[in-house]
Chains A and B, each alone.
Chain A
């Protein structure tokens, strides 16, 4: 287990370094001059040169890269090109809102997916199963930038149950979380169904039934625990989709999280902020993937042996 942990941690560190570097080169190699963004086109040459020097942009790219990595190590993300605020302060303001949205979406997804997946699997090939799976297919195909406006139209405009957008208490969390959680619920319910069906065919289930255990106990104590394992492993990957979805969803619902910040940074060409946003989201993604892998290895000894 220890060897596996070390190996997995080491590769996570390499990946994080790679992610930082790709983001850095991506932003520095493409056309577009941050100095021009900050000073405007009419600035004098001397002003430009002095700003360029103070930002360190006059140095060679590889030097800038090393400085960037060293700054990162000290958690110094630089300053926003607009308003001169430290990027880390801006992130600290926005991140909790995105995490709140993500957690609410996961909660909604699990609340829908677990019962739906179980019911579909237990009533395999019946009408109930078909309906659940058609809904899951549909849920996975609905783009969230369409679902969001539809939900606003029905639940905010016509019925007036929830606010249209913004952050005004828990009620304003419902529609964005539903928008973001639907695709996840669809994916998870299909996986839970498939996984449960596979487990239900195994010998230990037959054995449990032969011992005269109640069906309820067989399903919940024996089958479900094993069936949920593979669902956990893909959670990391799904979180990535969730965070990307948050970019769109926050835009629709005017939810001032990190997703909206990303789009604002793109529109204002605020490179330090954009860099920090991508980095942060990728970091969450790497960490969650690492944790799921470790959790899985702890739950299932076979993984460790393979590794």
Chain B
């Protein structure tokens, strides 16, 4: 399984997680203000320089890694659980419930996902938990569509019929006899959605709808930095590079997983990325 794993991508993701853990230990001071170091360029003393309030860009980058990982992880977990549950039950029960679900999925697919999340986050008000809610509200759809289609194709297989004939209850059949077989495409979908969620969180924060100051997010760091771009381009370069590397790495991992798990034909290109900008 690990043969020919994309080393670069795995390394970047591991570094990202390590940074998030480091931020959790609270040994750095991402909010500490040093008035004598305002807009200081990288090099002298600080690895990545200081921002417009004299805060260390490196410390804020580490702190932003935590924000981005927490949001992305929560969004993907909530979306995947909710979407898979809805999709599988819909396919299993069929009938009116299934028709309603399909219409609901179609309606949600008709929104550009991130736009709805932007509006929702704007209405709910800024903050990390509202950002997670807004992104999960649009994120479940991709999982539901995929889980429904997959469950439909597995439902009629003999081992499921055998389980039914033995009187196994529906919940057990769905969890033990169907879910393991549809897990591969769902995992691939989750990987791509993870990259989408990282960008989505940063987008919300860039627009001022994600984490609130003084908390750091890569998106809000870029937002702050844009105003000082000519004087201190490092304020924009560092967080942008971080988002770029993480998203690139997750996408490479997703491609690799898709090829390894051989689910190419089961994902419709372009439509599975409900969150991607």
- Chain A residues with a Cβ under 8 A of chain B: 11, 14-16, 18-19, 22-23, 26-27, 30, 32, 137-138, 140-146, 149-150, 152-153, 157, 183, 187, 191, 230, 233-234, 237-238, 240-241, 243-245, 247-248, 251-252, 262-263, 266-267, 274, 277-278, 281-282, 285-286, 289
Contact = CB atoms under 8 A, between A and B. Distances in A.
A282 B110 contact: yes
15 contacts: A14-B103, A15-B106, A22-B107, A22-B108, A138-B244, A141-B248, A145-B202, A145-B203, A150-B240, A157-B230, A240-B115, A244-B115, A252-B226, A282-B112, A285-B110
A32 B104 CA distance: 26
Contacts of A142: 244
B277 A281 contact: no
Interface string B90-116: 000000000000011011101111111
Interface stretch (B18-26, B54-62, B117-125, B147-155): B117-125
Given A144-B277, A234-B271, A282-B112, A15 B107 contact: yes
B203 A240 contact: no
A281 B111 CA distance: 8
Nearest to B116: A278
Given A144-B277, A145-B219, A153 B229 contact: yes
B128 interface: no
A243 B276 CA distance: 12
- 6 smallest A-B Cβ distances: which pairs? A234-B270, A266-B122, A146-B240, A18-B107, A240-B112, A141-B248
Contacts of A289: 110
Contacts of B225: 149
Contacts of B236: 146, 149-150, 153
A91 to B, nearest CB: 15
B222 A244 contact: no
B38 interface: no
Q: For the complex, would chain B's binding face be called helix, strand, loop or mixed by DSSP majority?
A: helix
A31 to B, nearest CB: 8
B53 interface: no
Nearest to B226: A149
B199 interface: yes
B257 to A, nearest CB: 15
Of the listed residues B107, B112, B206, B248, the one surrounded by the most CB atoms of chain A closer than 10 A to its CB is B112
A140 B277 CA distance: 9
B175 interface: no
Given A19-B111, A146-B243, A245 B271 contact: no
B229 A152 contact: yes
B74 interface: no
A159 to B, nearest CB: 13
A243 B115 contact: yes
A265 B124 CA distance: 14
A251 B222 CA distance: 13
Interface string B190-211: 0000010001001100110100
Of the listed residues A191, A241, A243, A263, the one surrounded by the most CB atoms of chain B closer than 10 A to its CB is A241
B277 A153 contact: no
A237 B271 contact: yes
Contacts of B120: 26
A16 B110 CA distance: 8
A153 B222 CA distance: 13
Given A30-B124, A237-B270, A143 B203 contact: yes
A141 B113 CA distance: 18
Contacts of B116: 278
Contact of B107 (A19, A183, A263, A266): A19
A30 B103 contact: no
